[in-house]
Structure 1
Amino acid sequence: MLNSLEQKVFLDLSYEELEARNLELKAERKEGKTQDYFAQKVLKILKDEKKIKAVMLCFTDIEGKLLNLDYDKTFFINSHDNLTFDGSSVRGFSTQDKSDLRLQVDFSSLRFLPSCVFGPGKVMMFASAFTQDGKPYESDFRQKLHSLCDDLYAKDKTIVNVAPEIEGFLLDGIDSEQNFEALGKFELVTTGGYFNSLPQDKLRKFIDAVAEIKRCMGFENEKDHPEVAPSQFELNYKYTKALEAADQIQIYKLICRQVAKLMGCTASFLPKPVMNINGSGMHMNISLETAGRNIFFEKGSEISESGKKFATSILYYAKDLCLILNSSVNAYRRLDPKFEAPNEIKISSSDRSAMIRIPIGNEKSSRIEIRSVAPDCNPYLMIFAVVSIGVSKQDDKEMSKILNKREKLPGNIYDALRYFKASGTLKAILGDVSCEKFAEIKEMAANRCPKDLGCKVKVSEIIYHHEVTNQVLWYNF
C-alpha cells in the first residue's frame, strides 16, 4: 500500500516556485481583487494542475484553535458551495440540536504548500462558518473581522494594517504539553537566549527551517532570532491587512508546531510554560491607512491625534478586553512585573511595562504596539475587538482620564472574566450569545485550575489549555 502511494506523482514545488506563486496571490489580495475573481482563478488552478490532490480547508473555533479538513480536489471543485460540518463537535460552536454548519470558502486565501511540512499535492485555503440558512455564524470571528474590514474600506478607504511579533518556546520531546502530567516539567532544548544561540544548535536549526518555510509561503520575512528566555524564539515578518495578518498567525503557529515535531520537539505557545524566565507574548503592531496615507503618522510628533485616540480607547477598555487578549489561566503568569510584563494600563515610547508602546517610526512605520497580547489568543476575535473599539466614536474627554491613572490589568483569569461579563461595550460589539459562550468555556477551564496561581506551573493549567487539551485529557478530570 505504501509503495503504491510513493509511486504517485503529486505537486512538489521548490521553495523558489512556492514563494513566487504565493507572493503573486498576496499581491492580488492587496490590490483588492474580488472574491469572484479569486474563485474563478482558484477553480481553474485546481482543474488544470493535475498534481494537486487535496484542498486543506482551515477555520478557527471561538477560542482560537485552528481546525482543518482535507477535501479531495474533485469533490471540492464540484461541492465547494455546499461544504458542511458538525458544529456541535467544536467547543463553543453549536449545540447538538443545531449541529450542522456550513463552511464558506475564502478563495482569496489560497496558499501553495511546501510538501516537506504538509505533504505533497496539497493547497490551503481558509473558510468561515455559516448557519444552515446561509447567514454568518455568530461565533466565527474570521467572518466578523472580514466584514469589519470591508465596512471600514467602503466608508472612507480605511485599511487596518497589522504586524504581530509571535514568541514561543522550543521544548524537547514530541507532544510535551499533552504529556506534561507524566513528565512533571518541560525540558528546554538549549540554555542559550537572546543574541547568543550557537549557529548549529537545535533552536537555531528550528528557527532557520521555519524562516525558510515562512518565506516560501509569502510571509516576507524581516528578522529571526532567539528571544530573551532560553529556548525561546521569535520570527518577524512584514505587516499586512488585518484579515491576512490573522490568517498568518494561524499558519505561523502551525508551521512551527510541525517543524518542531519533525525535529522530535514541541513548539509551545503557552504564555508562561516555565517559571522564573520570561514568558511569551504576541505584540500587536497596528496602524490605520486611509486612501494610501498612514493616519497614525504626524511629522514632529510620536504619533498623530488619530493614533492617540485609537490607543486611548484601548486603554479605557483595557480591563474589559483583558480576557480576549489573555484567554487562558497560564496567560496571567506572564503578566508578572518581574519579567518585563506589559501589565500597566498606560502609553509609553520606552517603558516596556506599558500596555501600549509607541515605537520610533516614520511615515510608513508609525504605529501603536499593544504588548499585553498572549500568543494563545484567538487572533480574529482579538483584532476584531481591538479595532472595533479603536475606531468607535467615544467621549474623548471622558476617555482621556485613563491617561492620568496608574492602573494594572487583571492579575488572574477570574478578575478578567468579571470585567468581561460586565462589559456592555463588548456585548454590543461581539453579541450577547458569543460573549456568553466565550465566558462559559473560559470559566470551565478556569474552574479546573487553582484560583491562586502560586509559584509553580500546575498540571491543570497546561492540560486543560484550549490549544493543548483533547477529548482524552478533558474528560480525565
Structure 2
Amino acid sequence: MDDWLSGLPEHARAYLKGRRLDEVECIVSDLSGIARGKAMPAAKFAKQSHFYLPASIFQQTITGEWADDGDQPFLEPDMILQPDLETACAAPWTADWTLQVIHDMVDPDGAPVPVAPRNVLARVVALYRARGWEPVVAPEMEFYLVARNTDPRQPVVPPLGRSGRPAAARQAYSMSAVDEYGPVIDDIYDFAEAMGLEIDGILQEGGSGQIEMNLRHGDPVKLADEIFYFKRMIREAALRHDCYATFMAKPIQDQPGSAMHIHHSVVGTDGNNIFVDAQGEETPAFSHFIGGMQKHLPQVIALLAPYVNSYRRYVPDFAAPINLEWGRDNRTTGLRVPISNTQARRLENRIAGMDCNPYLGIAGSLACGYLGLVNQIEPAEQFKGDAYASDEGIPRNMAEALDLFAEATEIHEVLHPRFAEIYRSVKDLEYRAFLQEISPWEREHLLLNV
C-alpha cells in the first residue's frame, strides 16, 4: 500500500504524515456536479487498479428520476473508473483519515465515456491543444451562507452572524460583514490548506451572507476539479457552524444571484498569450474569441444556467448581465475585458451561474471561444455605456435555452453529440417535473382571484 501513497501529491502526503489512512472515496461528477461513487477501505483501494459504476448515473435528474438514454436503457452497462491520483486530496471534515480521488471514466474498450462531464471538458481542451493553443481559465465563485432550511416550503433567509443579527445586505467588500461569519471562513481556509487548494481571495458580495471566492488562473480541467472539491468542502464547513452553504443561482428573493464568472485567455506554442502581439496590441484572435462568444453563448446557456431557478438571476440592474455585449472594464456587459497588463489580456464571461456543473460550464464557454477562433468570427463593436439598456441576448427561461441547445450542431460536435443527446434528455425531464409543481405565488394570487 505504501507504494501508491508515495506517489500522492505533497499536500496529501503531508495530511497523512504519521497517520494511517482509513478510507478512500472514489468519486466522479454527475451532470449536476454532484459527487457520486463509492467509499472503500484504503487497503482494498491499494489492491485494485479500477472500479465500476453504471453509466446510468448520467441519466439521473436533480430530483432523482431517470431519463431515457435511447440506447438499450434496460442494460445499464458498467463504466470503468480509473483513479487520477494527481487529484487525491484530504477529506478533512470526516471523522477518520480519508482521501478523495477523482476518477476518469472509460468504456470496456478504454475509450473516454463521452457523457462524463470531466471527459467533456477534457475533449474541448484537447481540441485547443490540437491547434497549438493552451486555454487558461480563472473562475470566480459566488455563494451564500444561509440559515438552516429544513422545510422547503419556507423561504431561505440569511444566517445569524456573531453579533446575533442576520447577515447584512448591500455591504459589498465590507470586512466587518465577512467577520460576522468568520468561523466558517476559518474552516474554509483550514480545509483548503489540508486539501492543497489555493484561494486567491475571499470577499463579501452584495447579498446577505453572500461571499465571493477567487481562484488563481490555470488549466481548465484542474480548475474545474478544484471547484468540484470546493463546493463539497464549503458545504461541510458551513454545516459545522449550524448553517448551509448554497450555490443556487438565486436563493433569496430581492437579493443578487450567485455567478461563476470565467476569465479566459489562450497561450500559444511560444508560451505567449495569443490575444496580444509582440507590441502588446490586441490580435485578431482576441476579436475572434469574443465573436465566438457572442454568436454561440445563447446555445450553451442550458449548460451555464441549468435549472429553472437559474433564470431568476438574470434580472437587470442586479449585477447579472442579460446581454452579449462586450466592453472594457464594464460590468454591465455580459463579456468584460478587465484592466490588465498586456500578457494578462483576457475576456471575462459573466453569464455563467454558480449552480452550473463546473466542468460543463467551463467546457461550454471554451467551446464558444474555440469556434470563434476556428471560424474567425468577428464581434460586434465594443459597447460603451450602460449595457442593461441594450437588447437582451440570452434565453430567459429553460425551455428556450434547451431549444437553442438542441439546434446547436456545431457546439454538439465540440462537446460530443452523445453528451448533447443525454444532457438534453435529462434537462427536459427536470423541466417537465418542475411544470407539475404549483407554487405559493400561484396559490396566493390565483386561487381566489381568477
Relative to the length of structure 2, the TM-score reads 0.82
Alignment partner of 1:411: what SS? Answer: coil
Corresponding residue for residue 162 of structure 2: none
Tell me what 1:230 maps to.
Answer: 208
Counterpart for residue 144 of structure 2: 169
Counterparts of residues 50-449 of structure 1 (less than 5 Å): 51-81=20-50, 83-92=51-60, 95-111=73-89, 113=90, 115=92, 117-150=93-126, 152-153=128-129, 155-156=131-132, 158-173=133-148, 176=149, 179-181=151-153, 184-189=154-159, 190-192=166-168, 193-196=171-174, 198=176, 201-290=179-268, 291-298=270-277, 303-392=282-371, 394-396=374-376, 399-400=378-379, 406-449=391-434
Q: Answer yes or no: is the 8 Å Cα contact 2:304–2:351 preserved in 1.
A: yes
Counterpart residue identity of residue 179, structure 1: D
Contact 2:142–2:212 (CA under 8 A) maintained in structure 1: yes
Aligned-partner Cα distance in 2 for 1:89–1:154: 30
Give the Å deviation of 1:337.
Answer: 0.7
- Say whether the 8 Å CA contact 2:178–2:204 is kept in structure 1: no
Q: Distance in 2 between matches of 1:209 and 1:100?
A: 37
Deviation at 1:151, TM superposition (A): 5.2
Aligned residue type for 2:55: G
CA distance in 2, matches of 1:457, 1:297: 53
- 1:294 aligned counterpart, secondary structure: coil
Q: Could you tell me how far 1:23 is from its partner in structure 2?
A: 9.3
CA change 1:425–1:148 in 2 (3 A) is: closer
Q: Percent identity?
A: 22
Summarize the Cα distance change of 1:415–1:382 in structure 2 as closer, same or farther, 3 Å threshold: same
Q: CA offsets, 1:190-235, max 9 Å, x none?
A: 3323233537854233223213322343333221111111110112
Following TM superposition, by how much is the alpha carbon of 1:380 offset from its aligned partner in structure 2, in angstroms? 1.4
Alpha-carbon displacement from aligned partner over 1:133-162 (angstroms, at most 9, x marks no partner): 332112012123224434544652x32221
Structure 2: how far apart are the matches of 1:352 and 1:195? 16
Q: Distance in 2 between matches of 1:144 and 1:445?
A: 21
Flag the 1:430–1:154 CA change in 2: closer, same or farther, 3 A. Answer: closer
Q: 1:440 to 1:384 in 2, by over 3 A?
A: same
What is the SS of the residue equivalent to 2:28?
A: strand
Q: CA deviation at 1:357?
A: 0.5
- 2:173/2:204 contact within 8 Å kept: yes
**Distance in 2 separating the partners of 1:435 and 1:114:** 33
3-state secondary structure, aligned to 1:449: helix
CA contact (8 A) 1:302 1:358 kept: no
In the alignment, what sits opposite 1:22? 11
Q: CA deviation at 1:401?
A: 5.4
Shift in alpha-carbon separation, 1:383–1:195, aligned structure 2, 3 A: closer
- TM normalised by structure 1 equals 0.77
Q: CA RMSD in A?
A: 3.3
Q: In structure 1, give the amino acid aligned to 2:42.
A: K
Q: Could you tell me which runs of 5 or more consecutive residues in structure 1 were left unpaired when the two chains were aligned.
A: 1-19, 26-44, 459-477
Query: Post-superposition, which runs of at least 4 consecutive aligned residues in structure 1 deviate over 4 A?
Result: 199-202, 298-303, 401-407, 450-458
Cα 1:391–1:201 change in 2 (3 A) is closer
AA partner of residue 11 (structure 2) = N
C-alpha offsets along residues 223-278 of structure 1, whole Å, 9 cap, x if unaligned?
11111111101121211211100001111111110001111111000000111111
Q: Aligned partner of 1:55: which letter?
A: V
Q: Give 3-state SS (helix, strand or coil) of 1:252's partner.
A: helix
**Contact kept in structure 1, 2:249 and 2:257, CA below 8 Å:** yes
Partner of 1:330, secondary structure, is helix
Contact 1:272 1:334 in 2 (8 A): yes
Distance 1:22 1:286, change over 3 A: farther
CA displacement at 1:374 relative to structure 2:
0.6
> 1:313 is paired with a residue of what secondary structure?
helix
- Greater CA drift, 359-368 or 253-262: 359-368
Deviations 1:392-430 (A, max 9, x none): 354436x43587994421111111111111111122223
Q: Kindly indicate whether the alpha-carbon contact (under 8 Å) linking 1:272 and 1:278 is maintained by their aligned counterparts in 2.
A: yes
CA contact (8 A) 1:219 1:237 kept: no
Aligned length: 410
- Structure 2: which 5+ runs fail to align? 1-8, 61-66, 160-165, 384-389, 444-450
Alpha-carbon contact 1:303-1:367 (below 8 Å) kept: no
